[in-house]
Amino acid sequence: MKAHLARGRARLKAVNAKAAAKPAPRPPSPAVARYVELFNRRDWDQLRSMLADDVRLVQSTYPSRAGAADVSMFFGIYSRGAPVRLVPAWLDDREVIAVYEDPQTVKPSYLMWLEWTDGRISFIRDYKYVRYVVDDAELILAIDTAPPGEETTH
């Protein structure tokens, strides 16, 4: 009986130690780093030039959009709004983009997720209208993207 208990405790300790280990920050892909740089500079024309002809855009409360001409309006919406700051990040081994509306906050307001085909953006999912997605996310900011003095895990 004591042996079973000891083995069970050892197993729980091993599981907890493994679960507590957070992945190390890693650099963003060159494509996402470029997207974030252009977005933060508000270079909408360069961003539009990165769209694949058959790109799709999904924003939860809006109808999906398809095609570069239709999806390019996405950048027009951001060009008319208050500036946001994008930061490359990782979520469960998937590269995402953390979006900060308030430069003073540590936690991002929401996320974006991009897919690429042949070096062009083929899919954009913008979580601006479903912010709860980021609430419990174990987000790891990419290397060299954390605000000065901040941790790289949110």
Residue with more model confidence, 33 or 105: 33
CATH 3.10.450.50 fits 23-141, yes or no: yes
- Give me the mean pLDDT over the 59-72 stretch: 91
What residues does each domain of the chain span? 23-141
Per cent of the chain over pLDDT 70 is 79
Query: Which tokens hold the place of 53?
Result: 């002809």
- Give me the mean pLDDT over the 104-130 stretch: 93
Q: CA dihedral defined by 35, 40, 45, 49, rounded to 10 degrees?
A: 0
Q: Rounded to the nearest 5°, which phi and psi values hold at 47?
A: -65, -45
pTM value surpassing 0.85: no
Q: CA dihedral defined by 78, 84, 89, 91, rounded to 10 degrees?
A: -70
Cβ atoms of 72 and 51 within 8 Å: the answer is yes
